[in-house]
Structure 1
Amino acid sequence: MIEVEHLSKIYGSNLGIQDLTFSVEPGEIMGFLGPNGAGKTTTMRILAGYLPASSGTARIAGYDVHEQSLAVRQRIGYLPETPPLYPEMTVEGFLYFVARLKGVPAGDRARQVKAAIDRCNLQEKRRVLIRKLSKGFRQRVGIAQAIVHDPPAIVLDEPTVGLDPRQIIEVRNLIKSLAGSHTIILSTHILPEVSMTCNRVTIINRGQVVATNTPDNLEASLAGGTGYELEISGDATAAKEQLLQLLPSVKLVEPINTIGADRSQPSDANRACLRVVSNPGVEPGPDIVTVLIGMGLKIYEMRRIKASLEDVFLELTMEEKQLQSPEGEVA
């Protein structure tokens, strides 16, 4: 449904994306992950036909996004990070306007607008001015404008940004309800959303694809390593530096806010929490204790953990020299 081959974009002397190749199958929800500046939005704007690529090809439902841009725009729904809404229009009036722009025949517009309103649970807001809507409802209108022409492919750039937890759940359920009848690319910084929503994940860093696989398989790529969460006294940054310097078996150390399944927080300001992940086949627990005690630090709690999608993301996108790409499908 969505095919990207050797796609690159250059801005003057800056490289936006470089030689991206990936595909999204019909009915699939693919999470598109990367740190800020990795090239996610550039890629999505190219797919939506709003930005030309410097080289390479991208096809939506068989249509080339550069050579057949009009056909592509009729077959793709795009929600940028800031929804393109007109605040002085009503929800229903705005969706009629978008349907006309997207080429929906006049005889089908009422049906298509009603379907988008129903799908996004906007029935009670259809005659309300957009400027009077909450952030969550404005985001629903943004998704409604992306699907009002019933496109086979949908591109969503940070659809849950700025939403509260309840609104995030509502948008997540809406996106999942669109799967099957639509092919979806979802960009987000909220990694648990990817695990709960997406069939597959593509991670990019510095404009290049570094991994693509299912969330479970990506997590399994780190499963051979041992992970710990610790609550310690003293300087977390110094502890991180010493662990990475003295223990070659440790490949990832990062400060975290809380530890454990109950997400308990440090009891005072002089305590800190760390996540430590080792290479596969190594049990570094005793060595971690030795290093930290040798620094004069106290260990208040130490828990063994399972590798998460967040660990995979950090390993593949952090630029520190100790990080190595995990085994798996890596581009």
Structure 2
Amino acid sequence: MLFFALLVKVTWILAADGGHHWTYEGPHGQDHWPTSYPECGGDAQSPINIQTDSVIFDPDLPAVQPHGYDQPGTEPLDLHNNGHTVQLSLPSTLHLGGLPRKYTAAQLHLHWGQKGSQEGSEHQINSEATVAELHVVHYDSESYGSLREAAQKPQGLAVLGILIEVGETENQAYGHILSHLHEIRHKDQITSVPPFNVRELLPQQLEQFFRYNGSLTTPPCYQSVVWTVFHRRAQISVEQLEKLQGTLFSTEEEPLAPLIQNYRIPQPLNQRTIFASFVQGETLCPPGEMLGLGVGILAGCLCLLLAVYFIAQKIRKKRLGNRKSVAFTSARATTEA
């Protein structure tokens, strides 16, 4: 009982309902959130639709540096169906660099659509959604003593947003989460997950991202989040997406309601500015692609040089042949004269 009480105490405030029942659709759906949670009607809400032609390039934005993500320790991680999402607890040894203060990890969770849907992300880029989105939640541990305290303070939270699309192969990192969903099918069920390399949930290349000030995407919608939405995406297989869309329920008893479409629609940007760490249209290749590109260019140059060399040799031989022919003809003409 003590363990459960401590778990409830540190459970992420994103899923807290503050005594009010809320859902994504229906009479308690997102259109009605501001009635019970006034801040959900604020002018700096998340998610947003990122229009790339209106973002501001900021060359001074430092790269995001996830520390400890590849070594989350030896203790098992708690995976929780809280009725709104699937949430994985993270140890406090994980934190972010590249931000003005130290932000310590608290948890991560997912958003997705209904079964068979190709839309499920909260953030959109140029009005395009992806099948799902991962959020990794951190709090300013330099200024505040807890996640709950930081959640209500300006820039008290920092959340990484990773858009997820369908790829050709299974993603082993996401498999560490998705393979346990059958153990927490009903609301409030919790299971333990062995620690794994959390860094592999993120895109390989982290230098390209969008940055803006926003809010929690669920009640109470506190406008306290420094958002980092990565330009590059993570990929999961079709089978993994189907498992995410079709395994969980948002209730604990009959009638069971499927846990689907747990994403908020994009909110007005209003007067906020979205910054980008890269110039639009500029594509940075991951190290492997850059190496392959370099090898290809080198091989192409070598082939070109060889071709030029053989052509030059052929022309030289032809000229020498012409000279010998002229010399022979001239010598013959002199002899005959």
Question: What TM bracket, shorter-length normalisation?
Answer: under 0.3
Q: If the length of structure 1 is used for normalisation, what is the TM-score?
A: 0.21
- Which one has the bigger strand percentage? 1
Q: If the length of structure 2 is used for normalisation, what is the TM-score?
A: 0.20
Which structure has more relative contact order (CA 8 Å, sep 6+)? It is 2
Q: Which has the larger radius of gyration?
A: 2
